[in-house]
Amino acid sequence: MLNQNDKNAPVRVGIIGLGTVGQGFLRLLLKNQGILRERLGFSLVLGGVCEKNSLTLKALTLPPDCVIYRDWEEMVRDPRISLVVELVGGFEPARSLILEAMKAGKSVVTANKALLARHGEEIFGAAATHAVDLGFEASVGGGIPILRTLRESLAGDRILRLAGIINGTANYILTRMSREGLEFETVLAEAQRQGYAESDPTFDIDGIDSAHKVAILATMAFGSPVNLSEIPVEGIRHIKPIDLEFGREFGYVLKLLGIAADHGDSLDIRVHPSFLPENSLLAEVDGVFNAIELSGQALGPLLLFGRGAGGDPTATAVMGDVMELARGIYHSSRGQVPALGFPFSGRTRKALRPLSAIYSEYYLRFMAKDQPGTLSYLAGVLGERGISIESVIQKGRESGGSVPVVVTTHRATESQVREALAIIDTSVHVTEKTVVIRIEDVSMEGPLS
């Protein structure tokens, strides 16, 4: 392990990957040297960078003593670098470089949520084995300090549940669809033209990015390893403006949520579009903003809101971690606070509840034949499965054709609803597959069920 024997020596940071967040972090590190030194009581300096894109490198003004490494192996081998910031993203070489850096006794900061959600156990385990620190605040919610809040501020409380708008691209699309009545494809294409959405937006719009983030949140909040592949995930591609309009008539706003709850013996973790009461705090989080609401047993509700992406906001999260880890290096106290807030090897794995067992209220839009008896048929099938109707709206009149009939239900299990729809959707009374959207109670008050 590296030791900071010379008390006047600065802590030298190496950055691997100078994309949007890497450059944001570089700017912050160079611009805030004074304030960093004041707060730390020692110097934190840019030891070197590694970036494959030579045009990116050429465009940057780096300090004269900053080493430009040809590859990550060279940086990881360099004993002058005691802290590695991994901002390349993706699985490889990110995974290997983090593991190798830890093996070489270096602490690591990363923003790589996909990697941590998939290979977290290996990486958290390596941090524990090599007694180094791992910072990953920037992996969830960009500049929102949610992970440190869970690990430190709320360490003494039991977290019961949380719900988050943790993907800015999806939230931007839903916000514009809802405000302007636009189709999903129209908003996505415009968001891509304006640079709000990636050219390959799959992870954002299909809920995969939110699943990565909620897996990390649940691991931190509940102290249980989470198997990413077991999380039920549904994105927003299929959402139609008509459902946003009907939702509004019922007093709901649609958000893509990452949800996690601790039921003691099992966890409920999922990602899907959810209708929220329009007067709830999360319903008011619009555009690219993110927010995470949670409930602590002693604390009660808490909401953290802010910029969930972007170079500068995300760089503040990276910097917070870098400073914390630099203190550990400078004061030779690395590896003392477990990265997850729970000792790596002392955790119990809780089973994930299958989607079929979750309780929710539901919004159901049937495209029903406009003829006598259809409504009583729909109500009958729902009633036979023990699903109680809360309200119904039918709009328009189309003799011989089909009209939207929208039903909201009281609480039922997903399997009750799926069983009822399996019957209805194969009947002669409807012309299309029924649209199902869950209605979430995000008040963070009251008991779990």
What residues are labeled active site?
213
Binding window for ligand HSE (CB under 6 A); candidates: 28-36, 161-169, 174-182, 256-264: 161-169
**What part of residues 421-440 is at the interface with ligand HSE (CB under 6 A)?**
none
E strands, 155-215, where? 159-165
Q: How far is the CB of 109 from ligand HSE (least distance, A)?
A: 16
Q: How far is the CB of 427 from ligand HSE (least distance, A)?
A: 40
b/e burial code for range 118-137 (CB count within 10 A of at least 16 → b): bbbbebbebbbebebbbbbb
Nearest to ligand HSE of 276, 309 (CB atom) = 309
Which DSSP symbol is given to 433?
A: P
Q: Does 169 bind ligand HSE (CB under 6 A)?
A: yes
Residue 48: strand pairing partners: 14, 67
Nearest to ligand HSE of 167, 408 (CB atom) = 167
Write the CB contacts of 369 (distance below 8 Å, at least 6 apart in sequence): 401, 402, 428, 429, 430, 431
Nearest to ligand HSE of 168, 235 (CB atom) = 168
Among 86, 137, 209, 414, binds ligand HSE (CB under 6 A): 209
Q: Does 258 bind ligand HSE (CB under 6 A)?
A: no
Tokens of 422: 């399996």
Tokens of 277: 């009461």
Q: How far is the CB of 191 from ligand HSE (least distance, A)?
A: 10
Tokens of 45: 């300096």
- The number of residues that bind ligand HSE (CB under 6 A) is 7
Q: Does 167 bind ligand HSE (CB under 6 A)?
A: yes
Residue 407: strand pairing partners: 364, 392
User: How many C-beta atoms surround the C-beta of residue 333 within 10 A?
Assistant: 11
Nearest to ligand HSE of 104, 163 (CB atom) = 163
Q: How far is the CB of 438 from ligand HSE (least distance, A)?
A: 21
Q: How far is the CB of 309 from ligand HSE (least distance, A)?
A: 4
- Per-residue interface string for the shown chain with ligand HSE, residues 295-334, x marking contact by CB under 6 A: -------------xx-------------------------
Exposed/middle/buried for residue 267 (C-beta within 10 Å: 0-12, 13-18, 19+) = buried
Nearest to ligand HSE of 12, 176 (CB atom) = 176
Q: Is the peptide bond before 93 cis (omega within 30 degrees of 0)?
A: yes
Beta-strand pair 435-439/412-413:
unpaired
Write the CB contacts of 389 (distance below 8 Å, at least 6 apart in sequence): 379, 382, 383, 407, 408, 409, 410
Tokens of 287: 């555009």
Centroid of chain to Cα 286: 16
Q: How far is the CB of 194 from ligand HSE (least distance, A)?
A: 13
Q: How far is the CB of 189 from ligand HSE (least distance, A)?
A: 16
Nearest to ligand HSE of 98, 126 (CB atom) = 98
Binding window for ligand HSE (CB under 6 A); candidates: 65-73, 164-172, 219-227, 358-366: 164-172
Instruction: Give, in order, the Cα–Cα distances in Å from 152 to each of 145, 281, 341.
Output: 11, 24, 7
Nearest to ligand HSE of 100, 209 (CB atom) = 209
Binding window for ligand HSE (CB under 6 A); candidates: 117-125, 150-158, 167-175, 322-330: 167-175
Nearest to ligand HSE of 36, 144 (CB atom) = 144
Q: Is 345 helix (H, G, I), strand (E, B) or coil?
A: helix
Among 168, 207, 258, 306, binds ligand HSE (CB under 6 A): 168
Strand order across the 44-50 sheet: 67-68, 44-50, 11-16, 83-86, 107-110, 134-135
Q: How far is the CB of 89 from ligand HSE (least distance, A)?
A: 9
Residues in touch with ligand HSE (CB under 6 A): 167-169, 204, 209, 308-309
